[in-house]
Every structure is written in C-alpha cells, then in structure tokens.
Structure 1
Amino acid sequence: MINSVYIHIPFCEKICHYCDFTKFFYQEQMADDYLIALAKEMDYYFKDDDSKKAMRTIFVGGGTPTALNVTQLKTLLKLIERHFAIDLVKEYTFEANPGDLNEDKIKLLKAYGVNRISMGVQVFDNQLLEELGRLHRVKDVDHNIDMLHKHDLNNVSIDLMYGLPGQTVDGFRASIAKALSYDLPHYSSYCLQIEPKTIFYQRYQKGKLNKPPEEIEAEMFQLLIQEMERHGKHQYEISNFAEMGAESQHNLTYWDNQHYYGFGAGAHGYLPGQRIVNLRPFPAYVKEAKNTGRPVLHVERIGKKEQIEEELFLGLRKRSGVSRTTFSSKYGVALERLYDQQIQTLIAKGWLEEFQDGIRMTEQGQLFGNDVFQQFLLDDEIESIIK
C-alpha cells in the first residue's frame, strides 16, 4: 500500500554553497513551465482513476517551494488537491526558507490544508548565514515564526547545521539555545557534508575550507542530543528530535522502509519492487514530462535482498531500532539467522545494543553510522535463505 507522496519544487532565489539537491534559480516562466510538466507527470500516474487518493502524508520539498509566487503556489496546491483527499491527510508539510514566507502565502497554505512547515534555518549567526550563501537573516526567522503562530500553523520544524566552516562548539550552543527558545515541536540537525558539484566542494579541493575536525563535530553532536533531551525534545532518529507525538510521519515512511510516490525533477519514488529516479536537468524533465508524462531517468529493481538491507540501513537510524518481530513478519526469516555475527561484532564495539525485541545503535554508534550500516550488506549467496 502506498500512502505517502513527495513532490519536488526545485526553485531557489539563491543557490546555497553546500547544497547538492536538484535546484535551479527561480525564474517566473521556468516555474510556470515546470508546474505544467509536474501536472503531466502526476496525471500519468493517476490517469485511469478519477477518485482522489487517500494519503497519510504529503511532503512538498525542494529547492524552496515557497519561492513560487502566490499565483504559482495556488496552482501547485490545486494540483495536489485534484489528486489527493486532503481532508484525510494526517501530515501535509511544505518546506520553506525564512524570508520567503509572507502573510498571503501562509494564508494560502493554511486554506489548502497544509498543517506542517519545515523551515531551513541552518544557523542563528548572520555571518555564517552569509558564508553559507543563505539570503535570510536571524530576524527573518523571528518574523516568520510569529506569522505562522498568528495563523495557527503551529506544527513547525526547523533545520540546523553543525560542522560548518569556522563554527565553534560555543557558536553551535548559541544556535541550539536560540532554536529552543521558540519551543517548537520538532527540530532536525545535520552535520555539513561536502558534496561534489557544490561551491564548498570546490573550496575544499583547493584547501580553502576551514571545516572543524571530526572530534569537534562529535562534540557538537553530543551537545545537540543533551540540549534537546534537556528541553523535552527526544531523539527519535539520528538527526531528528521531537516532542512525543510530533515526530515527522512522512520521514518515518522512509525510515520504516515503506512505499511512497515521488514527483518532480530528481525525485525518487519507491513503489513495490522498484525504485524510480526522475530526470534532474530542467529541460530534460520538462520535455519528457510534457511528451510522455513519465520523466524517468532509470528504474532500479528492488528484490528481497535489497529490501532487507534497506530495512537495516534505515531502521537503525531510528532510536527505536529494528524490531525482531517486525523483521521476521515482513521477510519470513529471523534477524539473527542473517546477521548474528555482525550484530555480535557491533555490540562488542559498543556501536550496537540489544533491547527486548530488537537492536539499535548506541549514541557512540551513531557517530559511526556508515560503518555500522556497511556491516548489513548481504552476500549474493544469501538468496537461498531469503527466498
């Protein structure tokens, strides 16, 4: 059953120095063309079914969806409403950049059923914001949070980053304190990753990026966990913290290895037995979507082996970990039959721990997540066991 959908809006007023997502500078005509193409793609998937789909979650991300002007934003919201039963959606999220939101856009989002805003703040330091290539400043966050509360859009999450060039532990502590001063129900925080084809990557290659050493990044991460827990925001995934009941239901779709639609340039969809990756370049996406309705770059077959591997990679990101009962129910084989040696090795390292019905990463293990995940790749000869 597919009960979640991701929709990608790739436009930004400015390209951040660290970002490797599919994104383009906002131009009004480009955005108009993109929305027509997006409508063609969504129509293709639902062309034989006039009834509206009942979705548990809808997430509109980017880029910056709120970079669209009011007319375009309304066109997008009406397109989504045409295909999905909005009144049945439990969590309907729009990403937004501070400063992009104004009262007209907030009223429009609210009127069309959007009930959650995810805001890309990144850091509460105007100098660092400029060095990241961000357009907003701290005062814009204050203003947008006030406006959202004014219109009863209170389910707000903000993103923070750490491990930034020139950032100190005390500087990150100040950002955490400012973020927590809003007392929002949800926070996300990510360590800066240097990705190819970004401005930061070019500087890194030239030795001109003053990134903190790994031990300082680890100290920042531990500080983050401590401060969030101290303020009643429990860590439910490596990078995500929430009040009880305010966890991101859409992101849990990913971490629970469930299926979802993905629409837009560069979007990924995960349908039964296949992962669909869309074309990224703007001209290619728009042309193929308008001509065929299916702007697909490639389709990857997801067999049982790949599903099991992803169950571990994604499930171990959650603090609730991987349940033995759920695993054996989904895949017809006991977790230990496939992974007993790996589990025992990781427990001995202090990176994994057992609980009553499963396994989860320790706080130390979260610092070595990729090393942990690699242990759960399966050999091809395992196919005979999992068939």
Structure 2
Amino acid sequence: MSQGSQKPQAVYLHIPFCTNKCFYCDFNSYVLKNQPVMEYLQGLEREMERTVKEVPPGEIKTIFVGGGTPTVLKPDEMEYFLKTVRTYFPNWSDSIEFSMEANPGTTDLEKLSAMREGGVNRISFGVQSFQNELLKGIGRIHDTDDVYQSLENARKAGFENMSIDLMFGLPNQTVEMLAESVDKALALGLPHYSIYSLKVEENTLFHTMYKKNQLPLPNEDDELQMYQLLMDRMKKAGYEQYEISNFAKPGYHSRHNMAYWLNEDYYGLGAGAHGYVGHQRHMNIKGVNPYTEATKEGLPRLETFTVPKEEAMEDFMMVGLRVLSGVSESHFKEQFGLAIEEVFAEPLHKMLDAGLMEKTGEGYRLSEQGLLFGNDVFGTFIGSLTAKE
C-alpha cells in the first residue's frame, strides 16, 4: 500500500489498564484499581467517530488491540468496546486479522467468548517464561498453570489463531531455562511465537535496579547463545523466522505488525497511541483522564507532525530490515520515487562489505550474521540522511 494513495487499512487501539505494572514495562499503562474504565471507552468511541470523519477508512485488513492489558476489561466493557470498533470501522476484509493482547492471569471463558463474538480472531498471550520464579522476578501476576488454563479456555471459545510471547535475557535466566521455556512453548503447537530480548528501559523498576547494580542479567555471550538457541529450535520445529523476534507456521505471520514493518499507514487510537496516515505521524495525550477529557473537545492529540522525506526513508530501512525477507526496491521506489542505492549508497556498501547485509532479487536483507547484530545495522541508517541536514 503506497502512502496517501489508499485509505488506511490497519487499526491500532490502546487499552491502557493493567492489574499491576511489570518491572520491565515502559508502555503507557496504569494500574486498573479505581480507574474510570467506561469513561475511557466512551472517550475512545468519540475519538473513533472524529477520526473516521476526518480520514475515512478503507477495507480494514488488520485490527490490533494492545495495552496495558486489554483483557482486564470486564465482559460487558469488552462487549461495548468491540461493538464501537465494529460501528466505526465496519468494512472488514473477509480475511481480517483481529488481534488482542492478553495476560494469562486475566482471561476466563466468559471474557474470551465475548471477545470471539465481538470479532476478535487472534490472541497474543504475554507468557514471557515457563519458570514461575522468573515470572515472579519480572512482576508478572500469572503462573504457568494460568497459561495452560487460558489456552484451554481460548480453544473452548473458538480461537485457533493464537500466539505467545516469550522473553530472554531476563534477570537470573540461564540458557537452560530458556531452552526449557522454548520446549514447553513448542509442545503447545501454536501457529505463532514472538520471542523478545529484555531491554532495560528508563522509568521502570528494572532501570532503577540496573543503575544500582542490583539487576543480575545474563552476560552478552549467554544472551547471544540464547538467541541462537531459539532460532535453531524454532527452525527445527518447522517455524519460519519472518522477523527478528517472530516465528510462524506458513500463513500465520502477524499481518498487523507487517503493516508497521512495511511503513504502511495505520490509525492509532487511545491514550498515548501513535498513528501514521498520509506521511503524518501523531501521538495522543497519555494520561487516562486528560485523554478522556480531550476527546470531548476534538482529537486528543499531544503532537502531530509531517514526517520529512529523509526521516521516512530512514524509518523504511530501519523497520523493513527487521523482516527477514528484507526491504524491497520496488516498494521503496513506490513510496519515495528514488532507488535505495542512490539514497543509501554509503551505509549499504558498509554493511554489505561487513557481511551484515546481502543483496536479494527484490532488494536487501540482513545476512545470517547481520541477524545477530541487527541493532548495529539499523544504527548505520538512523541519522545517515537527517544528520546531514
């Protein structure tokens, strides 16, 4: 989809509530207790109404509900929320992917049934680990029994397309622990897995602990071994690694995330949500009450800006190279009217010579070695144009 030539076909919706704040989390989320949830959902409906009047949607191919933990909504709140989504984005593709993030500690059959009846057809469970001691150490509220129960309930509610998130590089995690988690995850036979490395972000408990030298993280060699182990295990189990952190059975890659990685337009609705439509990026007001109040007056924007062409081209390379198929020459030319080679000759040659990237029939991609050092590759493109201005 070329930016500006089609109406947006992807929708992101943010539910900012959680039962508690995980120790590593820097997302825009708030502990649920005493929060005005229904007022927030009504504000979200107002934002949907104003948004589609301003930028009418095309045929919706993907919807993703993130957080926070969207599954903390009560069944009646969930029904109301999903009804408003269908009201303002009614033109769904026959093959729509409608995903919702879920915490294994916040799902029961009634809630999952309300989600399925409301159109959700894909769930991403934040499992993170199959060791209860590690889960406790990162501030998760669920245990491994909750994981199995939630998956059973989801299947009873009619879900087939399910994914789980795992993390590696956690405090006190060993390579053997990760191997056990991967084995237990694969035993579930799900169509999709996301496996991320821990990043210690500012404004988190882990960052405070890290600064005080109180965070017992694995060393770099162990973390590299963890990544190589999970890539090997997933490949042997028949999963395609289609993005640095994502693995899928054929036909089950996350189409919503692919819209981000291909630099396509998407609506971003809810407190703190980001959207990208027609070369314009926006970020919404973050706080629950300030956001809700702002929706009564207009669109709840914190900032809106046109993305300069140079920055958009850098973004294209940075996010596109996360995908293992790489960046497409034709897609780049379609968006920017230029060839990748003429824009990024210097960083391209540097990475090709270093063996971290390789040429494909379609464009460029990370090499096997480049996969292990993706951030180094991305860093050569960030600022390579904008720094010259």
TM over 0.5: yes
Among 303, 309, 314, the alignment partner of 2:308 is: 303
Question: Matched residues in 1 for 2:195 and 2:385: separation?
Answer: 34
331-340 vs 169-178, which moves further: 331-340
Residues 1:280 and 2:278 are matched in the alignment = no
Residues 1:165 and 2:171 are matched in the alignment = yes
How far 1:240 sits from its partner (Å)? 0.4
Partner of 2:18 in structure 1? 12
The answer (yes or no) to whether the contact 2:13–2:268 under 8 Å persists in 1 is yes
257-266 vs 19-28, which moves further: 19-28
Partner of 2:226 in structure 1? 220
326-335 vs 294-303, which moves further: 326-335
Residues 1:104 and 2:110 are matched in the alignment = yes
Question: Matched residues in 2 for 1:79 and 1:203: separation?
Answer: 41
Question: Matched residues in 2 for 1:9 and 1:247: separation?
Answer: 23
How far 1:269 sits from its partner (Å)? 0.3
Question: Matched residues in 1 for 2:374 and 2:58: separation?
Answer: 36
Deviations 1:277-321 (A, max 9, x none): 01112222122122x231111112212212211110111000000
Among 341, 347, 353, the alignment partner of 1:336 is: 341
Among 335, 346, 352, the alignment partner of 2:351 is: 346
Among 35, 39, 60, the alignment partner of 2:45 is: 39
270-279 vs 143-152, which moves further: 143-152
Structure 1: 5+ residue runs without aligned partners? none
The answer (yes or no) to whether the contact 1:86–1:113 under 8 Å persists in 2 is no
338-347 vs 85-94, which moves further: 85-94
How far 1:150 sits from its partner (Å)? 2.2
Deviations 1:333-359 (A, max 9, x none): 221112223222112222111122211
Residues 1:357 and 2:362 are matched in the alignment = yes
Matches within 5 A, 1:48-127: 54-85=59-90, 87-88=92-93, 90-127=96-133
Question: Matched residues in 1 for 2:33 and 2:78: separation?
Answer: 14
5-14 vs 364-373, which moves further: 364-373
- Size of the aligned set, in residue pairs, is 381
Question: Matched residues in 1 for 2:271 and 2:169: separation?
Answer: 29
Identity across matched positions, percent: 42
Question: Matched residues in 1 for 2:36 and 2:226: separation?
Answer: 40
Question: Matched residues in 2 for 1:7 and 1:106: separation?
Answer: 18
Distance 1:104 1:53, change over 3 A: farther
Among 184, 188, 202, the alignment partner of 1:182 is: 188
How far 1:87 sits from its partner (Å)? 4.6
Matches within 5 A, 1:254-273: 254-273=260-279
| Structure 1 residue ranges (4+ consecutive) displaced by more than 6 angstroms after TM superposition | none
The RMSD of aligned alpha carbons is 1.8
The answer (yes or no) to whether the contact 2:311–2:386 under 8 Å persists in 1 is no
Question: Matched residues in 2 for 1:300 and 1:337: separation?
Answer: 26
Distance 1:48 1:261, change over 3 A: closer
Secondary structure at 1:307 match in 2: helix
Residues 1:243 and 2:270 are matched in the alignment = no
Partner of 2:236 in structure 1? 230
How far 1:330 sits from its partner (Å)? 2.7
Structure-1-length-normalised TM-score = 0.94
328-337 vs 200-209, which moves further: 328-337
Distance 1:86 1:110, change over 3 A: farther
The answer (yes or no) to whether the contact 1:59–1:250 under 8 Å persists in 2 is yes
Structure 2: 5+ residue runs without aligned partners? 1-5
Residues 1:367 and 2:384 are matched in the alignment = no
